């Protein structure tokens, strides 16, 4: 548990009043209540107003490992921060312990915020946490967040959908992929036949297996591919390559999680759209 010494104590009510001019009637986080809050892909500027409201009201903040420190700093100085990081391949807080902490802190009468990267219900295990809160009779609210697989791509000029390019897309996690298909796993061969973009979360470890399946389904090695690491953060990196060169590119560039992998013709839009975004920012800076 990491505690921050109070600097200038501010009541939840007073903190919430600071948002009054932005959105009157913001919901109140009550004592003994838990809000499951999506923090978006990383950049604090991509928080929703409801997420910011939650941070200003929380007595206890139970947060993931990938939450930007600038986002954590938005919480009240006297709020208790509890680290509940889960990182693949590294020592992590067990999910049952996280849920037990939420229940315990709520029963103690605290206003609790469970802050999760991206959106809580997209590969974030938010559903499991809410199910346990319901089972334990703990009042709760879910605050959606921008998911990294979509917002992270938009931020670097890769549109998830583009007219004339694709009519659908496939979002998947590679976390559960193994050395062989499982009864409840994804048939990557079938996915390779879709001829639609594939966006992968948490896939770096199992990417060789995934790419092999996609190739067996007919996905060509020449198909454009990209990796967006640490999307929208100060450490963001974007690498454009092809499906056939993807593994070697990741190795050569030293790319690590958190990373979004995307395969599909939408990647070709990156160069053009990134130029447009850069020019717009430079023009705005010149005018200022």
Please answer whether residues 29 and 106 qualify as being in contact, where contact means their C-beta atoms are separated by less than 8 angstroms: no
Nearest CA-CA partner of 138 in 126, 146, 151, 129:
129
Active site residue 64: yes
Question: Which residue out of 64, 68, 119, 243 is catalytically annotated?
Answer: 64
Distances (CA, A) of 265 to 35, 80, 119, 207, 238: 38, 46, 25, 19, 16
Q: Please, is 87 exposed, middle or buried when counting C-beta atoms within 10 Å of its C-beta (0-12, 13-18, 19+)?
A: middle
Active site residue 86: yes
Say which residue the tokens 């996690």 belong to.
173
Active site residue 116: no
Judging by DSSP bridges, how do beta strands 34-38 and 2-3 pair with one another?
unpaired
Please answer whether residues 277 and 223 qualify as being in contact, where contact means their C-beta atoms are separated by less than 8 angstroms: no
In the DSSP assignment, the letter for residue 222 is T
Whether the bond between 165 and the residue before it is cis, its omega within 30 degrees of 0, is: no
Question: Which residue out of 116, 202, 219, 243 is catalytically annotated?
Answer: 202
Nearest CA-CA partner of 64 in 101, 116, 118:
116
Q: Please, is 252 exposed, middle or buried when counting C-beta atoms within 10 Å of its C-beta (0-12, 13-18, 19+)?
A: exposed
DSSP per-residue letters across 132-189: HHHHTT--EEEE----HHHHHHHHTT--SS-TTT-S--EEEE-TT--SS--TTS--HH
Please answer whether residues 174 and 198 qualify as being in contact, where contact means their C-beta atoms are separated by less than 8 angstroms: no
Q: Please, is 247 exposed, middle or buried when counting C-beta atoms within 10 Å of its C-beta (0-12, 13-18, 19+)?
A: middle
What are the catalytic residues? Answer: 64, 86, 202
């Amino acid at each position: 548990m990491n505690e921050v010494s109070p600097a200038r104590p501010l009541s939840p009510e007073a903190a919430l009043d600071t948002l009054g001019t932005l959105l009157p009637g913001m919901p109140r986080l009550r004592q003994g209540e838990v809000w499951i809050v999506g923090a978006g892909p990383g950049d604090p500027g991509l928080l929703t107003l409801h997420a910011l409201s939650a941070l200003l009201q929380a007595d206890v903040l139970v947060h993931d490992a990938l939450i930007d420190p600038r986002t954590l700093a938005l919480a009240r100085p006297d709020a208790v921060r509890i680290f509940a990081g889960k990182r693949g391949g590294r020592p992590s807080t067990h999910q049952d312990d996280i849920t037990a902490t939420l229940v315990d802190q709520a029963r103690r009468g605290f206003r609790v915020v469970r802050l999760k990267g991206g959106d809580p219900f997209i590969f974030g295990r938010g559903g499991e946490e809410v199910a346990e809160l319901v089972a334990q009779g703990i009042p709760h609210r879910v605050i959606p967040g921008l998911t990294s697989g979509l917002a992270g791509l938009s931020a670097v000029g890769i549109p998830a959908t583009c007219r004339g390019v694709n009519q659908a897309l496939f979002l998947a996690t590679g976390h559960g992929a193994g050395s062989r298909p499982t009864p409840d796993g994804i048939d990557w061969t079938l996915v390779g036949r879709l001829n639609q973009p594939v966006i992968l979360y948490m896939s770096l470890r199992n990417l060789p297996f995934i790419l092999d399946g996609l190739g067996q389904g007919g996905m060509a090695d020449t198909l454009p591919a990209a990796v967006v690491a640490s999307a929208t953060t100060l450490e963001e990196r974007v690498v454009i390559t092809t499906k056939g060169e993807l593994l070697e590119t990741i190795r050569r560039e030293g790319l690590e999680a958190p990373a979004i992998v995307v395969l599909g013709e939408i990647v070709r839009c990156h160069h053009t759209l990134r130029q447009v975004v850069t020019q717009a920012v430079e023009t705005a800076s010149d005018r200022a």
